[in-house]
Amino acid sequence: MTTEQLILFAIFVTVFGMFAWGRVRYDIVALGALLLGVVLGVVPSDQAFSGFGHPATIIVAMVLIASAGLTRSGAVGLITRHVIRSDRGVTSHIVILGGIGAALSGFINNIAALALLMPVDIQTAAKAKRAAGRTLMPLAFATILGGMITMIGTPPNIIVASIRQQELGAPFAMFDYTPVGLGVAIAGLIYVTFLGWRLIPQRDDGVGQAEDLADYVAELVVPEDSKLIGERLGSLDPAAEDSDVAILSLFRDGKRRRGPSRNAILNAGDTLLIEASPSTLEEFRRETGLAFPKGRSDKARIPTGEGQILVEAVAREDSRITGRTAQTIGLGWRQQTILMGISRRGRTIRDRARRTTIEPGDILLLLTPEDTSDHVVDWLGCLPLAGRAHQITDEGKAPLAMTFFAAAILAASFGLASMPVALGLMVVAFVVTRILPTKELYSHVDWPVIVLLGSMIPLGLALDSTGGTQIIASGLTFLTSGLPAWVSLLVLMVVTMTLSDILNNNATTIIAAPVGIRVAEQLQVNPDPYLMAVAVAASCAFLTPIGHQNNTVILGPGGYRFGDYWRMGLPLEALVVVVAIPLILLVWPL
C-alpha cells in the first residue's frame, strides 16, 4: 500500500468517524477533509474544487430549486386536497398518502416531498383522533423508496449516474432506474402499508391534534402593571388547572427560585416556566393577564398582543438553529421571534427554552409576527407543522410549473439536452414567469449537501486514481471468491446499506460506486448491476433516525425513539435486498 493510499484511507476513516460522531456538521467535516487532502498532496490543488462544478452537484442543486417551484405553485396541494380524507382507516390512508409521496419523490427531492405531505398527514391524524406516529414513519419511508424510481429522485442516483459517465463513458438515463426502483418501491409500500406500521410501538394513541403531540415548556412574564403583583404564586393554581397547564418554576432576576415556591410573592418581571400545549398556553395567558417574554436577554423589541401567532416547526439536521440556542442565533433581535417552548421526542425539556441547545427532530413553539411567520420558519430552515403553509402558493401557476418541469424531464430523457442544462433552463423559466421569486432562488438550495458533494467528489476521485478503491474491491472479491458473482453483489449491497444507516448516504455512494466498478472488473462481468445495487442500497437507510434526513424530521412530530426505527426498518431493508437482487440481475444481467 502506497503512502498516498494510506493517507487517503486515514482521511476517509476520520471523515466517516466524524460523520458517525455527529458533533460537527457533515459539510464542515467534508470540506476540512478536502483541504487536508490538498495540503498533504493527495488531492491535486488544481482539482480541489472541481467537485463544485461536477454534474452531480449541479443536478442536486437544480432539483432542490425545482422542488421549491413546484411547491410554491401549489401543484402538490391540488392533488392532496382532493384525495386525502380523515374517515379512512390507517391502511387506506397509508396506501394513498404513501403512494402520492413515493410518486412525488420520483421527480422532486424526497425531503421536499415529505415536507409537503407531513402537515397533511398530521392534520388528517388530528381529525381522525389517532396518533400521528402511526402514519408518519410509513410516509417518510415511502418518500425514501419513491426516490429510487428515477435518476433525479434522490442524490445517490444522481451520483451513480455521474460516476458511470466518468468511468464508462455514458451516464444512466433518467428512467434507467425505473424497472428496479419501481419494483423495490412497490414491494416496500406493500410492506409498510399492511405490516410495517403495525411494528411501530404505539404511545399516547389518543393524540389527535398536531398541537397536542406533546406539551411544551414555555415562559410567561408578570407585566409591570399586572394585578398579580403582590399575590402568591399559588393563587394561579385554579387558572392553571382550568386551562390544563402546569406551573413548573419561578425565575427572578434570571435565577430559579429554590425550594417550595407556591407561597412566593409575585413581583413585576418574574418569569414563570409553564408546561402546556399551544392552545392551553394561550388560554392561560389570557385568563391571568401574564405576558409573553419581550426577549430582554436577546435585546429584542417584541410587542405582545395583536399581530402575533404561535407557530410550530420541526428542526431539521441542517436547520440554522440545530446545535445552537435561540439566543446564540439572535432569534429575537434578528426575526422579532421568541422561542416559547420545545418538545423533544414526546418529552418536555425542563429548562429555559431560549437557552436550550436544539437537536434535530425537536418541535419548536415560536411566537412570531403574523406577517413574517413563513419567513421566520424558512430562515430557521425548519419544517412547519399543524397544517400551516410554509410558503404562499399561487395555484393558478401550477399547470405552468408542471409543464416546465415535464419539458425539462422529456428533453433530458430524449437526449435533447443534458440533465444539468435541461434543469437549468427550467429554473430560468420558473424565475421569468415568477413561479419562484428571484429573492428566494438560492434559499431553497441545501447548501450543506452541496458543500458535502463538492468536497467528497475530489476525495473519491483521488482514492480511485491512487488505487484505493481497487484495494477495497480486491478485499470484497477475496471474501466472496469461489462463490457465484451475485454473492458479491449481495455483499456490496449489505455493506453499502449498513454504512448508509449510520453515515451520510451521499458520501457512502461516492465511495461505494467506484468499488462496485472495480469488483466487476476483477470478476470480468458487467459493472451496471453493481452500480444499480449501490444506488438502491445507499438510498435505503431505514434503521436509525440519522440515516436519512426524512427519518430525522419525523422524530419529534411522531414521538419516536431511536430504537423505534429498526423495528419497522430492518424487515424493510431485508425485503429490499431480496427484491432488488433478482430485479437487478434480470434487467442488468452480469
* Helix/strand/coil (H/E/C) assignment for every residue in 428-462: HHHHHCCCCCHHHCHHHCCHHHHHHHHHHHHHHHH
* Same domain flag for 226 and 94: no
Which residues are CB-neighbours of 189 under 8 A, at least 6 positions away?
95, 98, 99, 102, 142, 145
Question: Could you tell me if residue 108 is inside a domain?
Answer: yes
* Same domain flag for 219 and 356: yes
pLDDT of the residue at 108:
80
Distance (Å, whole) CA 519 – CA 510:
15
Question: Could you tell me if residue 337 is inside a domain?
Answer: yes
* Same domain flag for 327 and 302: yes
Task: Give pTM, 2 decimals.
Answer: 0.69
Q: Which three-class secondary structure state does DSSP give residue 295?
A: coil
Which residues are CB-neighbours of 475 under 8 A, at least 6 positions away?
none
* Same domain flag for 143 and 99: yes
The tally of domains found in the chain comes to 2
Final residue before a domain boundary, out of 444, 462, 485: 444
Which residues are CB-neighbours of 534 under 8 A, at least 6 positions away?
156, 160, 492, 493, 496, 509, 512, 513, 516
pLDDT of the residue at 35:
95
* Same domain flag for 266 and 370: yes
| Nearest residue to 560 (alpha-carbon basis) of 92, 98, 132 | 132
Cell 433525479 found at: 152
Q: What residues does 250 pair with on adjacent strands?
A: 272
* Same domain flag for 194 and 265: no
Structural domain of 189: 60-170+184-207+394-444
| Nearest residue to 59 (alpha-carbon basis) of 159, 147, 149, 167 | 159
Cell of 196: 410495517
Whether the Cβ atoms of residue 392 and residue 374 lie closer than 8 Å to each other? yes
Distance (Å, whole) CA 500 – CA 496:
6
* Same domain flag for 87 and 160: yes
* Same domain flag for 223 and 343: yes
pLDDT tens digits, 101-116: 999 888 887 877 887 7
Distance (Å, whole) CA 152 – CA 108:
7
Cell 403531540 found at: 213
Residue 313: its H or E element: strand 308-314
Question: Could you tell me if residue 196 is inside a domain?
Answer: yes
Q: Which three-class secondary structure state does DSSP give residue 129?
A: coil
Q: How far apart are the first and last CA of the chain?
A: 30
Q: Which residues of the chain have pLDDT under 50?
A: 205-214, 259-260, 295-306, 387-392
| CATH code of residue 287 | 3.30.70.1450
φ/ψ of 218, rounded to 5, equals: -125, 170
Cell 415562559 found at: 219
* Same domain flag for 155 and 190: yes
Whether the Cβ atoms of residue 362 and residue 341 lie closer than 8 Å to each other? no
pLDDT of the residue at 388:
42
Final residue before a domain boundary, out of 384, 403, 421: 384
Whether the Cβ atoms of residue 148 and residue 102 lie closer than 8 Å to each other? no
* Same domain flag for 406 and 380: no
Final residue before a domain boundary, out of 361, 384, 407: 384
Question: Could you tell me if residue 106 is inside a domain?
Answer: yes
The DSSP call for residue 208 is: -
Distance (Å, whole) CA 179 – CA 253:
65
Question: Could you tell me if residue 148 is inside a domain?
Answer: yes
pLDDT of the residue at 187:
96
pLDDT of the residue at 576:
96
Question: Could you tell me if residue 312 is inside a domain?
Answer: yes
pLDDT of the residue at 203:
63
* Same domain flag for 314 and 294: yes
Question: How would you list the strands of the sheet with 255-256, edge to edge?
Answer: 216-221, 271-276, 246-252, 255-256
Distance (Å, whole) CA 547 – CA 534:
16
Q: Using N-to-C axis directions, what is the helix angle for 133-146 and 90-105, rounded to 10°?
A: 30
Q: What residues does 252 pair with on adjacent strands?
A: 255
Amino acid at residue number 119: P
Whether the Cβ atoms of residue 147 and residue 551 lie closer than 8 Å to each other? no
Question: Could you tell me if residue 323 is inside a domain?
Answer: yes
Question: Could you tell me if residue 562 is inside a domain?
Answer: no
* Same domain flag for 327 and 437: no
Q: Which three-class secondary structure state does DSSP give residue 15?
A: helix
